[in-house]
Amino acid sequence: MESVWTLLSWGPDGWLDDLASGVFVTVSLALATLPIGLAIGFFVALAKQSNEPSLRLAGNIYTTIFRGLPELVTLFLVYFGAQLALQQLIHLYAPDATIEINSFVAGMVALGVVFSSYASEVFLSAFRAIPRGQYEGGYAVGLTNGQTMRLVILPQLIRIALAGLSNLWLSLLKDTALVSAINLADTLRQAYIAARVTKHALLFYGVAALIYLALAIISSFAIRGIERSVGKREAFAR
Partner 1 sequence: MSAVTNVSVNVERPPPAARGWPLPRIIGYALMGFWICACVGLIAYLASVWNPEFNAKYAPAYLSGIGVTLTLSVISIILGALLSIPIAYARMSRNLILSGLAYGYVYFFRGTPLIAQAFLFYYGSGSLSPQLKALGLWEFFREAWYCALLAFSLNTAAYQAEILRGAIESVPKGQWEGAASLGLHRLQTLWKIILPQALIVAMRPYGNEIILMLKGSAVAALITVYDLMGQTRLAYARSFDFQSYVWAGLIYFALVQTLSSVIDFIERWLTRHLVR
Quick note: the x/- pattern for partner 1 over 64-83, rule CB under 8 A, is xx-xxxxxxxx-xx--xx--
Task: Tell which positions 172-201 bind partner 1, by CB under 8 A.
Answer: 174-178, 180-181, 188, 191-192, 195, 199-201
Q: How far is the CB of 118 from partner 1 (least distance, A)?
A: 11
Task: Tell which positions 209-238 bind partner 1, by CB under 8 A.
Answer: 209, 212-213, 216-217
Verify binding: residue 160, partner 1, rule CB under 8 A: no
Angle (CA) 194 198 202, round 5°: 75
Stretch that binds partner 1, among 1-9, 116-124, 148-156, 168-176 (CB under 8 A): 168-176
Q: How far is the CB of 174 from partner 1 (least distance, A)?
A: 4
Whether 200 and 191 have beta carbons less than 8 Å apart is answered as no
Sign of CA dihedral 87, 88, 93, 95: positive
Stretch that binds partner 1, among 15-23, 53-61, 129-137, 158-166 (CB under 8 A): 53-61
Would you say 126 or 188 has its CB closer to partner 1? 188
- Answer for which of 94, 202, 235, 237 binds partner 1 (CB under 8 A) is 202
C-alpha torsion angle, residues 16, 18, 21, 25 (rounded to 10): -120
Q: How far is the CB of 169 from partner 1 (least distance, A)?
A: 13
- Among the residues of 69-153, which ranges form H helices? 71-91, 103-129, 132-140, 145-147
The set of residues, in sequence order, having a beta carbon less than 8 Å from that of 42 and lying 6+ positions away, is 119, 120, 123
Q: How far is the CB of 232 from partner 1 (least distance, A)?
A: 28
What is the distance between the terminal CA atoms of the chain, rounded to a whole angstrom?
Answer: 65
Total of residues contacting partner 1 (CB under 8 A): 52
Whether 41 and 161 have beta carbons less than 8 Å apart is answered as no
How far apart are the C-alpha atoms of 212 and 30, rounded to whole Å?
Answer: 12
Count of other CB atoms within 10 angstroms of residue 20 = 13
How far apart are the C-alpha atoms of 62 and 112, rounded to whole Å?
Answer: 13
* Residues of this chain that bind partner 1 (CB under 8 A): 47, 50-59, 61, 64-65, 67-74, 76-77, 80-81, 84, 170, 174-178, 180-181, 188, 191-192, 195, 199-203, 205-206, 208-209, 212-213, 216-217
